[in-house]
Amino acid sequence: MSKRTLVGVLTAVLLLGMASLAFAGDDSAVKAAALWVYFGIAIACGVGIGMAAMGTGLGMGNAINAALQGTARNPEAGGKIMTTMIIGLALIESLCIYALVICFILVFKIPDLGGLHGLIVKSLGG
């Protein structure tokens, strides 16, 4: 399945799901709308940590490649290159850890369903 097809299918599912909530009009629709908040946060966390892991993986691969090439060209400087590479890898990995922490904050700061239900009812004028 191509990327365009996958994005199209996911967009259609989200739009049809929101349309069914709009036409339902009862209390279960409000609860279902609140569940979409959970769904959105879960998708955002998954995509966010995936992109962070991919980016840090590419960065680490490039750093190790450059360190190995530098050591191959100048074997006497291998110790200094290795030390600098390890510090750089730790800093690169910290970026992925920051993304993981942000995802944990999003997941654990989700409002409770009852409070969200009350806010949605008030905003709808009920």
Domain presence at residue 68? yes
Rounding to the nearest 10 degrees, give the CA dihedral for residues 90, 69, 54, 108: 0
Q: Tell me which residue range forms the domain holding 59.
A: 34-123
Is 27 inside any structural domain? no
- Print pLDDT tens along the chain (126 aa): 788 888 888 787 776 666 555 555 556 666 666 677 777 888 888 888 999 999 999 999 999 999 999 999 999 999 999 999 999 999 999 999 999 998 888 878 766 656 666 666 666 665
CATH number for the domain that contains residue 113: 1.20.20.10
What is the value of pTM for the model shown? 0.60
64 falls within a domain: yes
Tokens for 65, please give them: 């490649």
Residue 94 lies in a domain: yes
| Domain-embedded: residue 84 | yes
Q: Is residue 56 part of a domain?
A: yes
Q: Is residue 21 part of a domain?
A: no
Predicted pLDDT at 15: 67
Query: Domain total for the chain?
Result: 1
Give the position of tokens 């569940």: 35
The whole-number pLDDT of residue 31 equals 65
Residue 42 lies in a domain: yes
